Amino acid sequence: MEAMVFAAGIGSRLKPFTLTRPKALAPVAGVPALQRCIERLRDEGGINHMVVNIHHFPDEIRRFIASDSSLSAIVDLSDESGLLLDTGGGLLNAANMFNQPDGPILLHNADVVTDFDIAEMERHFNDSGADVLLLVNPCRSSSRMLWFDETDSKLKGWSNEKTGDVKPESFRKEDNSVFKAAFNGVHIVNLGRIAPMLRRYADSHGPVFSLTPFYLWAVGEGADIRGFVPEKEYRWHDIGTPEKLAAATADFSGTK
């Protein structure tokens, strides 16, 4: 399995840090979030090749990776400095950079700091035969929720809990056979199956797009996309604001 770490985001909610540095290099208990992510994927996930996309202060991340041979040996950079492509466009742009373009790719937001069992998720992905497996949490509140079938955890829809919007329009969240969960920023994709769909989606929607609306579209095209809830409890934080960064630092102090 290979990986892609999404590190291109501008991080507007994390100002003033992101006025001069990329969000991915924000320190969590003294260790940059990007470094934590890469080292965990390597050490706990056994992943020895990763693609990291860059846009906001890209040279800062270039220098950071180049300064550590243990990171530069396993990381290739996908340069989006000219145009921020979002997660879907970013994955499509980097699709040819993987050693095994038809193999499983773990996607991880750089601003997510967590310690869930990567091996368990990989086993579940392999056993399920899914095209995409999403790390989700039914107990975490979010304004945007994903909805899954109670029986096989297949993705059925999306809702905005504040506005009441749902996608697709035909989806009915009142259906008793579905459950809702927040997406936790980690997925595994079968790139051999998903890449052709990404190209088709980009042809009609343009090069800049998020994976969430793409996934909802892909389900309609026959993609098998499922939610995954780890058996054991785990720590999880996004570091999108100064307050959330402080909470992650407090939780992960003394750990790596």
Are 124 and 228 a contacting pair, CB within 8 Å? yes
Q: Which residues of the chain have pLDDT under 50?
A: none
All structural domains of the chain, each given as residue ranges with its CATH number in brackets, are 2-252 (3.90.550.10)
Cα-flanking dihedrals φ and ψ of residue 229, to 5°?
-115, 115
40-61 confidence digits (pLDDT tens):
999 999 999 999 999 999 999 9
Predicted pLDDT at 256: 53
Predicted pLDDT at 29: 95
